[in-house]
Chains A and B, each alone.
Chain A
């Protein structure tokens, strides 16, 4: 979506403030929402692409006014309601309106350890056709989906070069929409800074970004 989270290239946010660097958490509620979200994720109530979709769907004013872990709170609240796990009334009351129906056992300490120490990747050993090869001239598609995508606005319509094929992964656009895994190659694509930002960028500067097959078209090789 063309949302507030897609902020690459925006102006107006001022200098990077590095004064707050004591640690990842300020308050205990930040620790708790991290653990609540991972517990829900580990219990299979939603997936990580849905979290990103819910986070970027937080309304833009709230998004900018929130600290980082507030956005985790809002996205987890929204997803649990969307999935029918909790209702708005229950959330407001902080109490369950129905007796517990434990269809999803809670994440245990052992499972938490496995999540943390092993993680999980959507990389697939299953084959998928690779539409591009390293060295190919490509153009990032000019698409504007309402749903979640990992194709930021600032590369759309721009010409780049495939540097590396990272292998086959699940397309986040599909996972985030609850449509299940759709397997595609992901490529590291390099763009000249001048292609993205114009002549104020230095000629030799570049940007590399990982793009799925669905985000790319073949382009005619063109002179710099």
Chain B
């Protein structure tokens, strides 16, 4: 750890970021034109609709589902999704007897190429501290009450592997197109804190 004086009250982060950026630009270390490209990518090009397409494809194509569960990274790249924080993907399948839910207790690791950047609650101390010790209580706060017959399996993604939950396909969707199925797949259902939407 650097000799970094944390005892001063931090000044406005906006000012500090501006000072840091202009200093690094002056030193020739970063290019201001490039700095904005990273946020732009996650605001406009990548998000949970990617993951929804993966799930809908797995629901529609049993051979794809097998590939997805045996090598998540390769199967997801078949749909042209991949990259930073999705290099080592494992997809875990919800079944009538196992419900999976994902966290990162130590920071906020999350599968960016399929889900985008994580929501604030995923990064919060409340979620990170509680989902491992009392997952059923946390899921109940999300409106998801699970039977005592089901195994709740929490994944703490603390190393390089990133997890995507494959939810169960809702009943009453026989013959649906992948596009229509994808509309049922919410971000939270791929984290494991919700089930997919029910067909209207």
Q: Is B35 a contact partner of A32 (Cβ separation < 8 A)?
A: yes
Contacts of B124 in A (CB 8 A): 13, 16-17
| Cβ of A6 to closest chain B Cβ, rounded Å | 6
Which residues of A (33-61) have their CB < 8 Å from a CB of B? 33-36, 38-40, 43, 45, 52-59
Contacts of A220 in B (CB 8 A): none
Q: Is A210 a contact partner of B31 (Cβ separation < 8 A)?
A: no
Q: Does A145 contact B (CB under 8 A)?
A: no
Q: Total A-B pairs in contact (CB under 8 Å)?
A: 297
Bound together, the chains give a CA A90 to CA B22 distance in angstroms of 11
Segment touching A, from B57-65, B101-109, B169-177:
B101-109
Q: Is A7 a contact partner of B105 (Cβ separation < 8 A)?
A: yes
Contacts of A29 in B (CB 8 A): 13-14, 17-18
Q: Does A120 contact B (CB under 8 A)?
A: yes
Q: Is A73 a contact partner of B16 (Cβ separation < 8 A)?
A: yes
Bound together, the chains give a CA A85 to CA B124 distance in angstroms of 31
| Cβ of A79 to closest chain B Cβ, rounded Å | 7
Partner of B2, one of A11, A78, A152, A154: A78
Q: Is B156 a contact partner of A9 (Cβ separation < 8 A)?
A: no
Q: Does B96 contact A (CB under 8 A)?
A: no
Bound together, the chains give a CA A57 to CA B1 distance in angstroms of 7
Which residues of A (198-223) have their CB < 8 Å from a CB of B? 202, 204-212
Contacts of B160 in A (CB 8 A): 121-123, 169, 186, 210
Residue-wise, chain B 4-41 has the 8 Å CB interface mask toward A (1 for contact) of: 11100010011011111111101111110111111111
Q: Is A15 a contact partner of B126 (Cβ separation < 8 A)?
A: yes
For chain A, give the interface size range.
35 or more
Q: Secondary structure at chain A's binding surface: helix, strand, loop or mixed?
A: mixed
Residue-wise, chain B 163-181 has the 8 Å CB interface mask toward A (1 for contact) of: 0000000000000000000
| Cβ of A204 to closest chain B Cβ, rounded Å | 4
| Cβ of B184 to closest chain A Cβ, rounded Å | 19
| Cβ of B193 to closest chain A Cβ, rounded Å | 9
Q: Is B5 a contact partner of A209 (Cβ separation < 8 A)?
A: no
Q: Is A34 a contact partner of B39 (Cβ separation < 8 A)?
A: yes
Q: Is B141 a contact partner of A15 (Cβ separation < 8 A)?
A: yes
Q: Does B153 contact A (CB under 8 A)?
A: yes
Q: Is B106 a contact partner of A31 (Cβ separation < 8 A)?
A: no
Q: Does A129 contact B (CB under 8 A)?
A: no
Q: A94-B18, A208-B154 are in contact. Are A25 and B43 (CB under 8 A)?
A: yes
Closest chain A residue, CB of each to CB of B73: A121
Residue-wise, chain B 70-95 has the 8 Å CB interface mask toward A (1 for contact) of: 00000000000011111110100000
Contacts of A77 in B (CB 8 A): 4, 16, 20
Bound together, the chains give a CA A188 to CA B90 distance in angstroms of 11
Bound together, the chains give a CA A81 to CA B160 distance in angstroms of 27
Partner of B26, one of A53, A95, A122, A206: A95
Bound together, the chains give a CA A11 to CA B119 distance in angstroms of 21
Contacts of A7 in B (CB 8 A): 105, 125, 128-129
| Cβ of A109 to closest chain B Cβ, rounded Å | 5
Q: Is A206 a contact partner of B154 (Cβ separation < 8 A)?
A: yes
Q: Does A64 contact B (CB under 8 A)?
A: yes
Q: A8-B128, A35-B36 are in contact. Are A121 and B17 (CB under 8 A)?
A: no
24 A-B pairs with CB atoms under 8 Å apart are: A7-B105, A7-B128, A8-B128, A15-B126, A15-B141, A18-B142, A31-B38, A32-B18, A34-B39, A35-B39, A56-B107, A68-B123, A74-B4, A88-B5, A96-B26, A102-B27, A102-B29, A115-B84, A118-B83, A152-B158, A154-B133, A204-B150, A205-B154, A209-B156
Chain B residues packing against A (C-beta within 8 Å): 1-6, 10, 13-14, 16-24, 26-31, 33-43, 82-88, 90, 105-108, 116-121, 123-130, 132-133, 135-136, 138, 141-142, 148, 150-161
Per CB-CB distance, the 3 closest pairs between chain A and chain B, nearest first, are A94-B19, A8-B105, A35-B35
